[in-house]
Chains A and B, each alone.
Chain A
Amino acid sequence: GAGVSQSPSNKVTEKGKDVELRCDPISGHTALYWYRQSLGQGLEFLIYFQGNSAPDKSGLPSDRFSAERTGGSVSTLTIQRTQQEDSAVYLCASSLGRGIPIQYFGAGTRLSVL
């Protein structure tokens, strides 16, 4: 695609529910990143994919968070048993590959946990 696409753009959920956030990177980009942006915490790295594998999951805040990538393309970030502190904008970015520093960001998914 022309850019990084994320869906949904907004998600409102109730505490305790599971949510799935989707990212469709730029075609041909092998590296994919998830970040979280929240008030007071700025932009935090969550996880990095190279192809379908995730060499760095160090930013995932708890075991309620998981992510996968299939076909070297679309990635899904899943948050189980959502908590109010999970409310944030979740941003996905892609780059041409390992070690290529410039990242292209999607518009994000704004998650609100009530």
Chain B
Amino acid sequence: SQQGEEDPQALSIQEGENATMNCSYKTSINNLQWYRQNSGRGLVHLILIRSNEREKHSGRLRVTLDTSKKSSSLLITASRAADTASYFCATGNAGGTSYGKLTFGQGTILTVHP
């Protein structure tokens, strides 16, 4: 079953605009990651935020994590047509078999129009 719920399911914007995607999850986590997927194939890791962090930046990406609300957001600033892809949040659960198993959200399909 999918732990993460992402919203919106689809987002369409113009180049240069910012894109914000949200993810909610249900159980305790020790980290949350965002991945990108082009054309329905392999996923590429974008950024990881640990449960004791509240915000992280990487280039045009900004991720926030609110463990009290069990939610995260991914902001892509100054979007480009090449950012068009599906974006997934993935959580790693605290406790139990903490070997790195990921639970993915349903994803947000981002379309950036030139």
Contacts and interface: CB of A to CB of B under 8 A. Distances in A.
Given A89-B40, A91-B42, A42 B105 contact: yes
Interface residues of B, number: 25
A56 B48 contact: no
A99 B35 CA distance: 18
A71 interface: no
Interface stretch (A11-19, A62-70, A101-109): A101-109
B97 interface: yes
Contacts of B41: 89, 107-108
A44 B98 CA distance: 17
A103 B42 contact: no
A45 B99 contact: no
Interface residues of A, number: 29
B72 to A, nearest CB: 14
Interface in B27-46: 30-31, 33, 35, 40-45
Interface in B85-112: 88, 92, 97-107
A45 B103 contact: yes
A55 B102 contact: no
Interface string B4-47: 00000000000000000000000000110101000011111100
Contacts of A105: 35, 42-44
A22 B35 CA distance: 23
A99 B103 contact: no
Nearest to B32: A101
Contacts of B107: 42
Contact of B97 (A41, A55, A89, A101): A55
Contacts of B42: 4, 91, 105-108
A82 interface: no
Interface string A81-114: 0000000010101010011111111111000000
The 7 closest A-B pairs by CB, nearest first: A43-B104, A105-B42, A107-B42, A105-B43, A98-B99, A107-B41, A42-B106
